[in-house]
Every structure is written in structure tokens, then in C-alpha cells.
Homo-oligomer: A and B are copies of this chain.
Amino acid sequence: MGEVHLRVGDDERLARAAWSRISEPGDPQAGTTISVLGAVGALRWLESSARHPDRLPRRQQACVERWAPRLEGLEPERDLERFAKLGGRVIVPGDPEWPVGLADLGAAVPHALWVRGAHQLPGGENARSAVAIVGSRASTRYGEGVAREFGFGLAEEGFPVISGGAYGIDAAAHRGALAASGAGTIAVLAGGADRLYPAGNEEMLRRVIEEGAIVAELGPGSAPTRHRFLARNRLIAALGTVVVVVEAGHRSGALSTANHAVEIMRTIGAVPGPITSVASGGCHRLLREQKAVCVTSTQDILELVGPIGSVEEAPEPACAPGLLDGLEPLASQVFDALPARAGAEVTSLVRTSGLSATEVLHGLATLHTLGRVRRVGERWARVTS
């Protein structure tokens, strides 16, 4: 499998390739089982449990009933071989290229990523952070123009552009990035990475493979079902440092990506449009509900990516002097009061910083907008990735 995979054993990679056929994307019980037993152990457990499912507790039984039928005909070695012949590689946790941001998905973390294209995945070692640009297939010329402009502008500034390879806004964002010089673009597909879906975008997706990468969590040959499209959206959200919704009707799938992004505390940008345009309705709702920041230019997005957007510029997760550069005094004081690795509640930050609760919250709001802190329940923590 080449030099980049030295850290991970072949058994682990094979087991994960198998799991990417066994469970549906985002199945939290599969994620939990693998995190407890390891991919190899979980596979052995499944194989033995499948022989005597009636001896299991009811909840495990349900999982085995879901997963065991797919053990039949599994040939992960052949999958890997064939995929390598297509020029692809399979990335698993522990590989240097594995995107750190995927950990935010918790039990819904993908088992493996099937990647085609030389471009390094965002969030891996030595990779720059990336921006996801998403939106409706039912887009307008206005939205497509904006997506193309942002895709181009971000790629020119060196930020890879992530999207879903679909018609409409997705395609416009990829095309904009392809027209720029160099940063690349990444299409996250809902089916297998051997299928360039939708067919109308096949030529564009071939260019994405040449100049960027396409990514799938399902094994080759897998069909892109409706459920898989929705599950795929969580990967787009997790791979981006910032998620920008360009156009989305009130029921657009792009809103599912935005909601995944909210859950895992990504910064979300929404592009406004005429209030008379239904294609902007979802964006306006995100703005109104204050789930998203209003973005009107590439520059606006770059500000959301923040000063530690690029890995090269922020090598230290601890409170190195550079981390506080460019923050206003209040935000800087609050950041300083946050523990280097753990989270802290507001009341504790009030004590540590000597600021009032209002000041602490204002500081946290600024830091959150800059992507410097994340909230998990009642606690706030530094963003170190």
C-alpha cells in the first residue's frame, strides 16, 4: 500500500475496508463496536456472533442481524487491489493523511476513506484546512455565479474547496476551484468512488481526480442511495473548517450539511440573496436563527477560516504567543484563561480570567466566530486542530 501507510497494519486496513461494506454510513453502533474492539476485533466478533445470534443481548442481536448478511462475499483484499488499479488509496485512522476533524463525528466516524486523486485530504498532516461550499441542485444563475466566484477565490488563496459533486451549487464551486491555480478541490461522493455520479458531472469529476481528489466512505461499486446522500453530508461538514451554504431552499439537502456542521461546531457561512428567491430561503433561515454568519465575499470566508486556518501557521496547540496574535484584548484574555487541552465552563472562566460573565461570553463569541474555540455542552475548549 506504499510508504504513507506505515503506521497502520494491513489487517486493520483490510478490516476497515470490510466494515465500509458491512455497515451503512454513520451507523453509530458500528462506530462504537469498532472503537471498543478495533476493526479487526469487531470483524471477528461479528463473524462468531453471526453463527449464534440468539445467544446475544437483544441490542447486539439487532446489529448482527443488520451486519451479518453482508459478510457473505466480502473480499476486502480484492477491493483494495482493484481500487489501487484505479489509482486509488484507502485511508484509515492512524494514517498521516487521516483528517483529524473526522473525530468530531464521534461514533458516526467513517471506517475508512476511499480516495482517488493525488491531493492530500484536508485536516491530515501537512494539509491546509479547507472550506466546504454547498448548496441546492435547484440553484439559480445568481447562486451558481457566487459559488464559482467563491470556489475560485478560495482556491487562489490556497484553500481546497470541498463539495459534493452534485449539479447546481456543488458543481459551480468545484468548477470555480478547478479554474484557479493549485489549491485543488475535493468531491465527497455518496456512493463508491469508482462511480462518477451524477453522470452529467462525470467529466468534471475526472478533472477533480486529476487536480484534487474524490472521496467516498463506501466501498467501490456502492450505489448512492438517499440515506447515503444525507450521511455523506456529515463528512463534508467534518472535512471543512468552515461550511458555506450558497443557496438552499427550505428543504434542501444543503441544510442537512449545515445542521451537521452546527452539531460538530463548525463555523457556518450563509450567502444572502433576494428575499423573493426561494433558493435563498434556507440561507436566510440559517442567518435568522443565527446558525450562520453572513458571507458576501471570499474575504468574508477567509476571515471565518481565521488566523489558525492553516496548519503550518499554528503548529502548537498550547498557548504559544502566536496563538493570541491578532485577537482583540477581551478575546485574548478569555483564550488565555482556557485550559490548553480540556474544556471549561463559563463560571470557571469567570474565575480564571477575572472578567465578568458578560465579558467572558463576548470574548467566547469572538473566538467562536474566529474558529478558535468550540462549545461542547456546557464547556468551551480551544480548537487545536
B-contacting residues of A (Cβ < 8 Å)? Answer: 142, 145-146, 271-276, 280-281, 283-284, 287-288, 290, 293-297, 300, 345-347, 350, 356-358, 360-361, 378
Contact = CB atoms under 8 A, between A and B. Distances in A.
Contacts of A272: 272-275, 280, 283-284, 287, 294
Nearest to A286: B294
A361 B273 CA distance: 30
Which one of A146, A293, A294, A347 has the highest number of Cβ atoms from chain B below 10 Å of its Cβ? A294
Contacts of A281: 296
Nearest to A380: B358
6 contacts: A272-B272, A272-B284, A274-B274, A288-B293, A294-B294, A361-B361
A97 to B, nearest CB: 34
Nearest to A377: B358
Given A272-B287, A284-B272, A378 B361 contact: no
Which one of A145, A300, A346 has the highest number of Cβ atoms from chain B below 10 Å of its Cβ? A346
A334 to B, nearest CB: 13
Nearest to A271: B275
Given A347-B350, A347-B357, A378-B358, A287 B276 contact: no
A274 B142 contact: yes
Contacts of A345: 356-358
A146 B297 CA distance: 24
Contacts of A271: 275
Contacts of A297: 275
A290 B142 CA distance: 24
A294 B288 contact: yes
Contact of A357 (B142, B290, B295, B361): B361
Nearest to A289: B294
A346 B361 CA distance: 10
Given A272-B275, A284-B294, A347-B356, 6 more contacts: A145-B276, A146-B275, A272-B273, A272-B283, A288-B293, A346-B361
Which one of A275, A356, A378 has the highest number of Cβ atoms from chain B below 10 Å of its Cβ? A275
A345 B355 CA distance: 13
- The list of the 3 closest CB pairs from A to B, nearest first, reads A272-B272, A287-B294, A346-B357
Nearest to A145: B276
Contacts of A290: 290, 293
A378 B356 CA distance: 8
Nearest to A362: B361
A362 B171 CA distance: 38
A297 to B, nearest CB: 7
Contact of A288 (B284, B295, B356, B378): B295
A94 B350 CA distance: 43
Contacts of A346: 356-358, 361
A184 B215 CA distance: 59
A7 to B, nearest CB: 38
A360 B297 CA distance: 34
A29 to B, nearest CB: 30
Nearest to A295: B288
A354 to B, nearest CB: 13
B273 A300 contact: no
